[in-house]
């Protein structure tokens, strides 16, 4: 048996993660995805298990806020949904889901989710309550060996 | 002036007056009062250099105040710094008053310039940069403070000072501990960590404890290790759940309803495992190891007539021949009371295991049902269903393409399920029409069921008549009529029901339950005919047995007669294979069940292979050369038939429960079958089925399956109990041979194995006078428990309603508040825009807290942000590393206004 190659990477930055690019953008200082060492460390401290939940919620909000206007609006939701389902839902379904999300979580009735709305919603999520199990917004180091 | 300052210095030298310092500190904290105080002093001190210094200091305090507001958690530390700074200032003033003034000034001036420069820069640069600067400044302050403290330490410390120092050290320690969870950028964290560590290191020695750090480090490592262990253990536990990954994969592609079948199958496997352990460990193995070996007595030997074909595959496949005369069946067991050197009570064990398997099954089914009901009662908080799905469904730990694909599929499926639910809940069109159609559908189904019931009854009666006539006189169809009719009904009625159920327009989950219920009713007919046929056969065998018994006794008598004539009285030496024996109806029943299970399993597998696999292969490969589109058109790929499979599983289990008493090998066989079908069906689903057109969410609990299982369990224990209680066991086979009834084994054990008083107590206890009141008591208890549970349920429902109402109320309130806040915001915006027109530059300064007297309107808007966050601890502005400034400023405004 011969080991041909070894790959060590973060689950967070795995090619399949739909929010890979977005995470890099949010944590980089220039907003383009080019990260300095400090940015990198920041990312780890936010994504570590010991990071406080509010912090995670805040950064999750940033990540889902694709156009960085500090609100998650409908276009952000559509983008998120299409990334999550790999465009397998029909337009009608996407529209319906987005409407439902805004209907559920928008507390101040402005048709988009502010950070407050988002936090209010996400701290009640079962995945969020037990971070350890579900890996919501955490990372894992993956070692891949090709033989 | 000089006297005053001298006094001050003295006071400082004494360094005990805590109150004074606190007062001053308070004065300094509120900037306006501090300004007043300083102005007062300024009038006294007229030196220009001092003024400059004063101004500089003012700036620093305001700056510090701002920082304080932002990071309230380190407030205490900063306060401490303020105090110390004041001290520094005072010292410096005092020193300046004395003749060293010039020298000092020389010393200080470069620093001041530097600061000024840095401040100049700050106004232009981003806030973050400023923070860094500030932390550097903090560091400088720290150094000053350290100098100061060293000075303090060089003299003897008063207890108050010591106390304070201790507090400061504790604060630092706290800071170090909580630094990890602070929402600061990494640079700031590093700086404050280093600084605090230095501080603690320096002064812990003075306070006499330097081990804190080590212990802390140890603690951190241990918590980390513990967390890792916990996570690994969780993972380990999930890997221990059998087939979890397979089921998850199926669930992600086919939805939770198909997965619910496999979960049910796994649960069934678990139960059968226990049943198998019971029968295998307590019945089969002891008999095989310690009982008399094969061939020692007639019941353990193949009779002479069958010997030739006993090893033929066809015979063995039918569980005849050697298989029939083995531990697999009831007839093989001997009625010896205790076997082997362990004195194992075989008949008793056999009886108790038979009762135990049934009792255990009841217990497990009922317990699972109760637990499921419990779970479904609590966990249905669906207030943010879609949002949670949207924002929390991605698992960021996934690092492998295959898992990621599955995750994508499962997320899509779950969204589809949720959308379907939503659509169903919205739909309410023409309720009268649907009601009519539903009634009609039920009527049609009832007709079907009644028809098929009559058909079965008719066929069974006819077959009984044929049996009385003798089967040889009839054609093949007439002989196999019952079986054929049964299987035809089982094949076509479900299809008919399926067609009928499209009339009803139910939610697919409800439709599945109806379908299950209907097919269940149909299959009950199957069960009923089977049991009737079996009873008839038992009666036939018993008649045969009577004859054999009579023959044997007459034969033995005549033989004994001949023996007694000879004086030698030699024992009868017949080979056990030649001894005449009864038909042993128990083994026959066991064989029937085993054959049924085998044929059932075979049919399932073959239909799976032909109906699913072959169809999929044909559709896939003939599609290239066919006139119409096979994949989209008529045959297409098959969907997974949840209802049929679930019912197959349930009825199969019913057979096991019925037959396990007479064929101890049944649980083992069933285990094998379930094991194979788990793999086979998992493969078949993934390989040749397509997801249902409407993927729907299975009900959280499988209680509907469980309820059907319970009914089947009850129905299948009835005949078993009936045969055990009413029919006397065969005279020459099985562990209970020679007894009048099977349960006599209990009596026997009580009499011979337990002390006398025990059997006496038992006989008293089994007195109807005692048993009847006991039963009454139990009924009362059940009634009481049932009524209380009803009350609890009602209360639960009420509470839930209340909670929902409250939630809605809150939402409304929030919306109102938000609307108000929005209006405020607009007003404020107007005001601020006006201010901007007046003085945009000052405006910006005021934000950084540099403006000595900002305009009123401006201040009210800008100040509101930091002030709010002092109370609302982990507020957004803290989380601002590495972000463009533009978004930052907005971040400040919006949430704070919402809170007002």
Who wins on pLDDT, B845 or A8?
Answer: A8
User: If pLDDT is split at 50, 70 and 90, which confidence band does B75 have?
Assistant: very low
Question: Token digits for B514?
Answer: 């109806």
Instruction: State the virtual CA torsion across B8, B9, B12, B18 in degrees, nearest 10.
Output: 0
pLDDT for the residue B83 = 47
pLDDT for the residue B209 = 52
Q: Do B390 and A77 touch (CB under 8 A)?
A: yes
Q: What residues contact B203, with CB distance under 8 A and at least 6 apart? A: B149, B165, B168, B169
Q: What residues contact A125, with CB distance under 8 A and at least 6 apart? A: A136, B384, B387, B388, B391, B392
pLDDT for the residue B364 = 95
pLDDT for the residue B456 = 85
pLDDT for the residue B890 = 38
Q: Which residues, numbered 29 to 88 in chain A, qualify as contacts with chain B under a Cβ-Cβ cut-off of 8 Å?
A: 29, 31, 38-39, 41-42, 45, 47-52, 54-55, 58-60, 64, 68, 70, 77, 80-81, 84-86, 88
Q: Do B388 and A42 touch (CB under 8 A)?
A: no
Who wins on pLDDT, B124 or B644?
Answer: B644
Q: What residues contact B752, with CB distance under 8 A and at least 6 apart? A: B337
Q: Which residue of A has its CA nearest to B401?
A: A16
Burial B658-697 (b: 16+ CB within 10 A, else e): bbbbbbbbbbbbbbebbeebbeebbebbeebbebeebbbb
Number of helices (H), then strands (E), in chain B: 33, 2
* Strand pairing category for A141-146 and A5-10: antiparallel
List, for residues A47-74, the tens digit of each pLDDT value. Answer: 776 677 777 888 888 888 888 888 888 8
CA distance B516 to chain A (A): 30
Q: What residues contact A124, with CB distance under 8 A and at least 6 apart? A: B381, B383, B384
Q: Which residue of B has its CA nearest to A52?
A: B181
Q: Are B349 and B283 in contact (CB under 8 A)?
A: yes
Tokens 């049910």, residue? B264
Query: Which chain B residues are closer than 8 Å to A139 by Cβ?
Result: 396-397
- Rounded mean pLDDT, B798-808: 86
Q: Do A18 and B230 touch (CB under 8 A)?
A: no
Q: How far apart are CA A128 and CA A60, in angstroms?
A: 11
CA distances from B652 to B223, B657, B857 (A): 50, 9, 80
List, for residues A4-14, the tens digit of each pLDDT value. Answer: 777 767 766 77
Who wins on pLDDT, B113 or B368?
Answer: B368
Q: Which residues, numbered 86 to 145 in chain A, qualify as contacts with chain B under a Cβ-Cβ cut-off of 8 Å?
A: 86, 88-89, 93, 96-97, 100-101, 104-105, 107-110, 114-116, 118, 121-122, 124-128, 132-140, 142, 144
- Rounded mean pLDDT, B728-746: 88
Q: For an interface test with A, give the residue of B184, B882, B892, B899 to mutate (most A CBs within 10 A).
A: B882
Residue B78 scores a pLDDT above 50: no
pLDDT for the residue B846 = 40
Who wins on pLDDT, B375 or B800?
Answer: B800
CA distances from B821 to A54, B809, B898 (A): 23, 18, 6
Among positive and negative, which fits the CA dihedral B714, B715, B719, B722?
A: positive
Who wins on pLDDT, B882 or A94?
Answer: A94
Q: What residues contact B770, with CB distance under 8 A and at least 6 apart? A: B764
Q: Which H or E run includes A7?
A: strand A5-10
Other C-beta atoms lying within 10 Å of the C-beta of residue B798: 10
Residue B734 scores a pLDDT above 80: yes
pLDDT for the residue B555 = 79
Q: Do A18 and B822 touch (CB under 8 A)?
A: no
List, for residues B181-203, the tens digit of each pLDDT value. Answer: 666 777 777 888 888 888 877 77
Residue A42 scores a pLDDT above 50: yes
Q: How far apart are CA B207 and CA A146, in angstroms?
A: 57
User: If pLDDT is split at 50, 70 and 90, which confidence band does B366 have?
Assistant: very high
pLDDT for the residue B692 = 79
pLDDT for the residue B267 = 94
Who wins on pLDDT, B846 or B222?
Answer: B222
Of B386, B392, B879, the CB nearest to A127: B392
First and final C-alpha spacing in chain A? 7
Closest by Cα among B655, B611, B693 to B523: B655
pLDDT for the residue B107 = 45
Q: Which H or E run includes A8?
A: strand A5-10
CA distance B883 to chain A (A): 6
Burial B33-56 (b: 16+ CB within 10 A, else e): ebbeebeeeeeebeeebbeebbeb
Q: Which residue of A has its CA nearest to B236?
A: A133
* Cα three-residue angle B377-B383-B388, rounded to 5 degrees: 105
Q: Is the interface score ipTM higher than 0.85?
A: yes
């Amino acid at each position: 048996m011969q080991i041909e190659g070894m790959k060590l990477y973060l689950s967070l930055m795995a090619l399949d993660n739909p929010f890979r690019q977005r995470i890099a953008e949010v944590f980089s200082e220039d907003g383009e995805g080019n990260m300095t060492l400090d940015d990198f460390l920041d990312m780890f401290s936010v994504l570590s298990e010991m990071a406080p939940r509010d912090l995670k919620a805040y950064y999750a909000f940033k990540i889902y806020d694709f156009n960085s206007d500090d609100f998650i609006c409908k276009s952000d939701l559509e983008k998120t949904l299409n990334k999550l389902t790999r465009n397998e839902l029909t337009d009608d379904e996407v529209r319906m889901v987005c409407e439902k999300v805004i209907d559920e979580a928008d507390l101040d009735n402005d048709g988009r989710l502010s950070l407050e709305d988002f936090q209010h919603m996400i701290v009640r999520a079962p995945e969020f309550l037990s971070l350890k199990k579900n890996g919501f917004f955490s990372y894992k180091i993956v070692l891949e060996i090709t033989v | 002036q000089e006297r005053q300052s001298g006094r001050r210095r003295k006071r400082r030298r004494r360094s005990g007056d805590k109150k004074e310092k606190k007062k001053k500190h308070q004065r300094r904290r509120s900037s306006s009062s501090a300004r007043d105080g300083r102005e007062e002093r300024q009038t006294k001190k007229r030196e220009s250099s001092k003024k400059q210094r004063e101004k500089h200091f003012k700036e620093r305090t305001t700056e510090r105040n701002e920082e304080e507001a932002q990071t309230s958690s380190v407030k205490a530390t900063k306060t401490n710094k303020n105090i110390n700074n004041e001290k520094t200032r005072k010292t410096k003033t005092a020193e300046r008053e004395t003749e060293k003034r010039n020298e000092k000034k020389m010393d200080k001036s470069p620093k001041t310039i530097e600061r000024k420069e840095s401040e100049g820069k700050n106004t232009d640069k981003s806030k973050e940069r400023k923070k860094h600067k500030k932390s550097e400044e903090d560091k400088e302050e720290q150094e000053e403070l350290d100098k100061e403290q060293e000075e303090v330490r060089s003299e003897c410390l008063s207890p108050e000072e010591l106390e304070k120092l201790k507090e400061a050290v504790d604060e630092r320690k706290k800071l170090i501990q909580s630094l990890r969870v602070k929402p600061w950028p990494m640079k700031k964290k590093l700086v404050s960590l280093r600084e605090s560590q230095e501080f603690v290191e320096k002064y812990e020695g003075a306070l006499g404890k330097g081990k804190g750090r080590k212990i802390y480090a140890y603690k951190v490592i241990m918590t980390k290790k513990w967390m890792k262990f916990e996570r690994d253990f969780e993972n380990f536990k999930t890997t221990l759940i059998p087939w979890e990954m397979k089921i998850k994969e199926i669930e992600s592609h086919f939805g939770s309803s198909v997965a619910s079948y496999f979960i049910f199958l796994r649960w069934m496997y678990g139960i059968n495992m226990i049943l198998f352990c019971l029968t295998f460990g307590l019945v089969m193995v002891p008999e095989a190891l310690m009982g008399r070996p094969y061939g020692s007595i007639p019941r353990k030997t193949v009779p002479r007539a069958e010997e030739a074909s006993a090893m033929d595959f066809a015979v063995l496949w039918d569980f005849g021949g050697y298989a029939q005369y083995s531990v697999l069946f009831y007839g093989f067991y001997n009625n010896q009371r205790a076997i082997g050197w362990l004195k194992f009570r075989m008949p008793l064990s056999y009886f108790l295991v038979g009762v135990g398997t049934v009792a255990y099954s009841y217990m497990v089914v009922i317990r699972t049902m109760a637990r499921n009901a419990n779970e479904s009662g609590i966990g249905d908080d669906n207030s943010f269903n879609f949002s949670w799905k949207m924002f929390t469904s991605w698992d960021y730990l996934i690092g492998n393409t295959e898992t990621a694909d599955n995750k994508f599929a499962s997320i899509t499926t779950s969204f589809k399920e949720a959308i379907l639910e939503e659509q169903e809940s919205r739909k309410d069109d023409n309720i009268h029409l649907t009601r009519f159609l539903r009634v009609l559908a039920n009527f049609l189904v009832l007709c079907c069921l009644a028809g098929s019931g009559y058909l079965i009854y008719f066929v069974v009666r006819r077959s009984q008549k044929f049996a009385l006539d003798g089967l040889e006189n009839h054609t093949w169809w007439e002989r196999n009529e019952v079986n054929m009719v049964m299987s035809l009904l089982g094949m076509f009625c479900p299809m008919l029901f399926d067609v009928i159920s499209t009339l009803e327009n139910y939610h697919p989950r409800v439709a599945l339950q109806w379908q299950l219920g209907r097919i269940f009713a149909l299959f009950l007919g199957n069960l009923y005919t089977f049991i009737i046929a079996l009873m008839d056969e038992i009666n036939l065998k018993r008649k045969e047995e009577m004859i054999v018994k009579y023959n044997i006794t007459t034969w033995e008598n005549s033989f004994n007669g001949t023996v007694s004539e000879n004086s030698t009285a030699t024992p009868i030496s017949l080979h056990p294979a030649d001894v005449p024996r009864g038909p042993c109806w128990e083994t026959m029943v066991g064989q029937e069940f085993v054959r049924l299970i085998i044929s059932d399993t075979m049919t399932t597998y073959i239909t799976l292979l032909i109906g699913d696999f072959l169809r999929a292969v044909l559709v896939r490969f003939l599609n290239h050369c066919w006139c119409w589109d096979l994949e989209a058109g008529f045959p297409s790929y098959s969907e997974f038939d949840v209802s049929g499979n679930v019912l197959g599983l349930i009825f199969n289990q019913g057979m096991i429960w019925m037959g396990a008493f007479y064929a101890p090998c049944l649980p083992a066989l069933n285990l094998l079958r379930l094991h194979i079908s788990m793999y086979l069906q998992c493969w078949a689903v993934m390989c040749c089925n397509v997801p249902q057109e409407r993927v729907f969410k299975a009900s959280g609990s499988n209680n509907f399956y469980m309820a059907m299982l319970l009914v089947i369990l009850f129905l299948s224990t009835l005949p078993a109990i009936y045969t055990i209680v009413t029919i006397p066991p065969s005279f020459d086979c099985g562990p209970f041979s020679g007894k009048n009834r099977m349960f006599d084994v209990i009596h026997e054990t009580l009499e011979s194995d337990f002390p006398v008083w025990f059997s006496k107590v038992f006989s008293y206890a089994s007195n109807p006078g005692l048993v009847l009141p006991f039963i009454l008591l139990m009924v009362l208890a059940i009634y009481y428990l049932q009524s209380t549970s009803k009350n609890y349920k009602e209360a639960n429902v009420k509470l839930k309603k209340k909670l929902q109402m409250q939630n809605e109320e809150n939402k409304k309130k929030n919306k109102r508040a938000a609307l108000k806040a929005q209006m405020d915001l607009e007003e404020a915006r107007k005001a601020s825009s006006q201010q901007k027109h007046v003085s945009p530059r000052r405006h910006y300064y005021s934000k950084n807290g540099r403006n000595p007297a900002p305009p009123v309107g401006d201040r009210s808007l800008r100040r509101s942000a930091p002030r709010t966050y002092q109370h609302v601890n982990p507020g957004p502005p803290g989380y601002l590393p590495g972000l463009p400034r533009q978004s930052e400023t907005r971040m400040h405004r919006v949430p704070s206004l919402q809170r007002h």
